Amino acid sequence: MVERAAAGGGKWVDVAPERLPRWLENFGARHGAYTEDGLTVIGADGASATLQSPPGAGPALTVAELIVQARAPRRLGLLLARKGAVAVGIADGDELVVSKVDRNYVQGRTAAGGWSQQRFARRRDNQAKAAASDAVGIAGRILLPEVRSLAALVAGGDRSAVDAILAAPQLAAVAALRTGRLLDVPEPRHAVLVSAVAAARAVPILIREPVTEPPRP
């Protein structure tokens, strides 16, 4: 289970749809019998957990509905990109059924100054454009033929790299399926793409611990 800090306090955890009932049981064991307010459960000690629908899942107004929708089979498109590397795939349920990974060399940045700086910058820019063009081609070959069967597109890696790929006019139908969350992944490789399937299917939960008053002097 992945945890990450939440803006404004609390933390996010990602829970696999199949583990949600057990996770809720454990929440109740830690925080006392809970009540439900829509998609938020509130423990007896004041702790709260707000569940969000995972990408591509149907609408849900209650926790029970969310569990059903999250566990329902669906196909997701995956697009991971970072500094010349791209991984594109399609997940059917929890299985990666189609994938393509590619890597183009893009030079890193160097310190300012020096007679060759402008030439270096032009070379690096050309390398980045070539990598983005190749990534657009891969995304088109993998995702466009299946776009009508996809419930959502989940992206990950470097936001600017992903944005550059999805800005291509020929990928407009794919970009329209993009969800808001950007997965935090290392350089895209096949193993990273496989692990991204679980992250894409997971239910994000915002947990806020009970507020405790400081001891009086």
- Residue range 107-133, pLDDT digits in tens: 455 545 554 565 545 555 555 565 577
Q: Same domain, yes or no, for 30 and 79?
A: no
Indicate whether 69 belongs to any domain: no
* Residue 35, in any domain of the structure: yes
Residue at 137 is within a domain: yes
Nearest to 17 by CA among 57, 77, 75: 57
What is the rounded average pLDDT of the residues 147-159? 97
115 domain residue, yes or no = yes
Q: How confident is the model at residue 210 (pLDDT cuts 50, 70, 90)?
A: confident
Tokens standing for 80? 């991971």
Asked if residue 97 belongs to a domain, the reply is: yes
User: Chain-wide mean pLDDT for the chain?
Assistant: 88
Q: Which residue has the tokens 């183009």?
A: 104
Helices (H), 6-101: 20-31, 63-71
Are residue 79 and residue 169 in the same domain, yes or no?
yes
Identify any residues that bridge with 48 across adjacent strands, giving them in sequence order.
42, 208
| DSSP letters for 155-215 | EEE-HHHHHHHHTSGGGHHHHTTEEEEEE--SS--HHHHHHHHHHHHSEEEEEEPPP-PPP
Boundaries of domain holding 30: 2-54+203-208
Does residue 90 fall inside a structural domain?
Answer: yes
**169 and 86 both lie in a single domain:** yes
Indicate if 6 and 105 belong to the same structural domain: no
Give the pLDDT band (50/70/90) at residue 148. very high
Percent of the chain with pLDDT over 70: 83
Number of compact structural domains in the chain? 2
If asked whether residues 36 and 93 sit together in one domain, one would say: no
Kindly report the number of other CB atoms within 10 A of residue 181's CB atom: 17
Please indicate, yes or no, whether residues 112 and 173 belong to a single structural domain of this protein: yes
Distance of alpha carbon 198 from alpha carbon 194, whole angstroms: 8
- The CATH number that applies at residue 172 is 3.30.420.60
Q: Kindly state whether residue 32 falls inside one of the protein's structural domains.
A: yes
Same domain, 181 and 130: yes
| pTM of the entire predicted model | 0.84
User: Does residue 23 sit within a domain?
Assistant: yes
For the cut 50, the answer to whether the pLDDT of residue 158 exceeds it is yes
